Amino acid sequence: MKEAHRQELAQSWQDAQQRLFDYGLALAGYQNAEEIPEVSQPEAVLLEGLLIMADWLASSEYLDNSHREPLFPLIRVDQSFQDVDLLKRYQNGILTWKRTDKWEPREVQLTNANGPVDPYFERWGFRAHHTQLVMTKAIQDALDPGMVVVEAGMGSGKTEVALLAAEELAYKTGRNGVYMGLPTQATSNAMFERFLRWAKQLADQEGKQLSIDLAHSKSAFNLSLRALPRATNVYDRDELVAKTPAARRLQGKTGATVVDSWLTGKKEMLNDFIVGTIDNLLLMGLKKKHLFLRHLGFSGKVVILDEVHAYDTYMTSYLERSLNWLGAYHVPVILLSATLPVDKRNVLLRAYLRGKYGRRYQSQLVAPADWETAQAYPLLTILDGSEIKQTTKFGPTDGVSKNLRVQRLNLPDTELATAILQKIQDGGVAGVIVNTVRRAQELTKLILDSCDSRVEVMLLHSAYLAPDRAKQERELQAKIGKNGQRPNRLVVVGTQVLEQSLDIDFDVLYTDIAPMDLILQRAGRLHRHAITRPKELQNPEVFIMGIQGLATYDAGDQAVYGQYLLMKTDHFLGDTIRLPEDISPLVQKVYSSSTDAEVKKSEQAQADGEVNEFEQAQADFAQLQCDSKKKAKVFQIAKPNFKPDATIHSWLDNDYGDLGKDGQKASAAVRDIQESLEVILVKCTNQGAFLLDGRPIQKVASREIAEQVIRIPVAITAYSSELDAAITELEKRTQKYFAEWQLDPWLRGDLALPLDDHLSTTLGRWRLTYSSKLGLSYAKEDDYD
């Protein structure tokens, strides 16, 4: 009897499935399944993404947790299929859900009936220089634009070129959104302000509500994002028609960039306009649940990637795989860099071509004979269909060349601090960029001990509480950004956060030895703006630190960058640099293996017996690259497969697992970094618990408490046993002081690091201390004995 009942239920379910299938078939206009066209693997990925999104939407009873706006409420048990008005149910749900408009891009106007038009002036109020106009025209002339690579000097206006290119490429290819990826949260935050102003112009131009988002793990704390209006319904619910942009303009309403609260979490990449860290794109290549939604989100956008030189071998492997799939979807991609090695440019172009055309791209490729070795600067490379076009001549030179004097400076830090202060004794801004947070803190303390009250000292690195770091960045831009109010004497000490996408200006630069492209990026912050400078600092100078002797560098520098690239940089870095003319030649010399022989044959290397050491560094570098590529492949999805029998079955087998709520594990997966530990800093005394700014924690909103987050230095949790022990200890402390956090949506799962009256504590064998001036510092407990 039970078996018969089971068979009856199974048959009923099969009948229901068949009716649903037949209903869908008829709805799509097919009479039988044989009429359905073949679906390629990339198409199947996007269809699966659409299916997941539709299922997510249809499974939502309400738009949000307020339960005030119904989407698709559950059907009562006593109702049958025929009792439900499906059309009305669909309309009500979609009209509630649809809270933003779709961007309808327009062609960029370079001419009109009255003659030439400057689109840069219309968008940003400045006259375009010749290189920008030539690039924009070349991009507009592309018939089937795929990838665009813009190589030009720091501060040359590449961002504006890219945003206008995004408008044009969206218009040509029918895209309705833009994603802009950057290396770090800091650079993403800085770019978000500029991107937001541009997107607001597009919204105003069309009188529409356009969804925008800032995509990184700390975006909830970004003031500009939080200040944006929430999306509201764009339909007239009484008449069931869209509130048209024309109607809105008649009512005196302009467009708006808005935050759509439904497009969060795994649905975040479905927003139309997004600025975020590069991780969001690299995750396209990681085997992970809901990957189909991510692919769907990127498939409808133009993708801009800034600072593409900044990614190591491991990250570049994920970037290649992501470009494979963007190519398969024919997504236009714009790459920006001031210091791009030729080999990396070629790798990225080939990755896109391989995705778009499969293996046959090589037989279809049409390109200049020297495209793989082109070192012109500026340089515009456009992938137009299967043809590579390169623009190397831009007419009149834009801007003025700068001759930078380069000097190697090997001084103890105490003497270095004195030399820096001496350099600006008659006024000026000195930039000091070092390779580790600890060195930045120690050098700052020495400078503070050596200077008087007339000298301002600022420090910027990653080991600050989010509010303190945001304050430092805003203050830095206000002082030495474009049109900033420059102090009489200022020393800015920082780590690599100062070298990327920050529009700041130094009168003189001190930098630790680093690979050539990073040295040049740092030098790009030197004499960046046209301003009056102190008499002694009118000629730009760069002092290179950390070179103790031939092939001998500070241990911290070698640990970060390896000896091979430092030795090549040291060899090819002369006494002067001419910007921008020397940028590409210097970068290519360091990153091309064809110049290794030149380093080994140099008279100095031969005389000092450096050849064997260089060969060992060369072998270590090659092995590291090989190991990184192999490691990156472990959890990577395969390239797009265009064979007729290719499917998405088993596509995500052996996936990466849970990425966690805050994205730390995701970053570790695609950046080849050790999984780190984040904590919330609080001060706990006999008087109670306080934020570090003195406010009692009971009187502070949960969101503000969650902002007090900082990353524990990797040195403290270098081994898995240390990481596990730290987590266990922090869980005990959190449970002791803040057990109620587990009931709070902002604080659930977070760990507290309670500090004493001196803002200090111990964790394992380490002592940690925080100050708003220096950030989080650490030392072994033995150092205090």
pLDDT of 255-312, one tens digit each?
A: 899 999 889 888 999 999 999 999 999 999 999 888 999 999 999 999 999 999 989 9
Q: Is residue 663 over pLDDT 80?
A: no
pLDDT at 250: 43
Please name which of 643, 667, 669 lies closest in space to residue 655, comparing C-alpha atoms: 669
pLDDT tens-place string over residues 127-181: 999 999 999 999 999 999 999 999 999 888 999 999 999 999 999 999 999 999 9
Alpha-carbon torsion 509, 547, 338, 581, what sign?
Answer: positive
Are 542 and 405 a contacting pair, CB within 8 Å? yes
Q: Which residues contact 179 (CB under 8 A, 6 or more apart)?
A: 269, 274, 275, 276, 280, 281, 298, 301, 302, 303, 304
Q: Per-residue pLDDT tens for 511-550?
A: 999 999 999 999 999 999 989 999 999 999 999 999 987 7
Task: Report the C-alpha gap between 505 and 480 in whole angstroms.
Answer: 6
Rg for the chain, CA atoms, rounded: 29
pLDDT at position 240 is 42
C-alpha dihedral (320, 326, 330, 334), degrees to nearest 10: -70
Q: Please say whether the dihedral angle defined by the alpha carbons of residues 26, 93, 255 and 266, taken in this order, is positive or negative.
A: negative
Burial class (CB in 10 A: 0-12, 13-18, 19+), 744: middle
Q: How confident is the model at residue 492 (pLDDT cuts 50, 70, 90)?
A: very high
> From CA 501, how far away is CA 543, in angstroms rounded?
21
Q: What are the strands, taking DSSP E only, across 40-144?
A: 111-112, 115-116
Write down the mean pLDDT value for the chain.
89
User: Are the C-beta atoms of 212 and 274 separated by less than 8 Å?
Assistant: yes
Cα dihedral: 22, 26, 30, 36 (round 10)? -50
Cis peptide before 580 (omega within 30 of 0): yes
Give the separation between CA 493 and CA 440, rounded to whole angstroms. Answer: 6
CB 297 within 8 A of CB 46: no
Do 197 and 138 contact (CB within 8 A), yes or no? no
Task: Produce one character per residue of 657-674: b if its CB has 16 or more CB atoms within 10 Å, e if not.
Answer: eebeeebbebbbbbbbee
**Residue 387 contacts residue 349 (beta carbons within 8 Å):** no
- CA–centroid distance for 357 within its chain: 27
Amino acid type, 603? E
pLDDT at residue 248 tops 60: no
The SS3 call for residue 305 is: strand
Alpha helices in 59-109 (DSSP H): 86-97
Report d(CA 161, CA 273) in Å as an integer: 17
Tokens of 377: 């600067």
Cβ neighbour number for residue 155 with a 10 Å cutoff: 17
Checking if the pLDDT of 219 tops 80, the result is yes
Neighbours of 561 (CB within 10 A): 19
Tell me the C-alpha distance between 620 and 192, whole Å.
39
Could you report how far apart the first and last alpha carbons of the chain are, in Å? 80
pLDDT on residue 657 = 66
pLDDT digits (tens, 9 = 90+) for 433-469: 999 999 999 999 999 999 988 999 999 998 999 888 8
pLDDT for position 702: 92
What predicted TM-score, i.e. pTM, was given to this entire model? 0.90
Distance of CA 559 to the CA centre of its chain: 24
> Cα(436)–Cα(444) distance, rounded to whole angstroms?
12
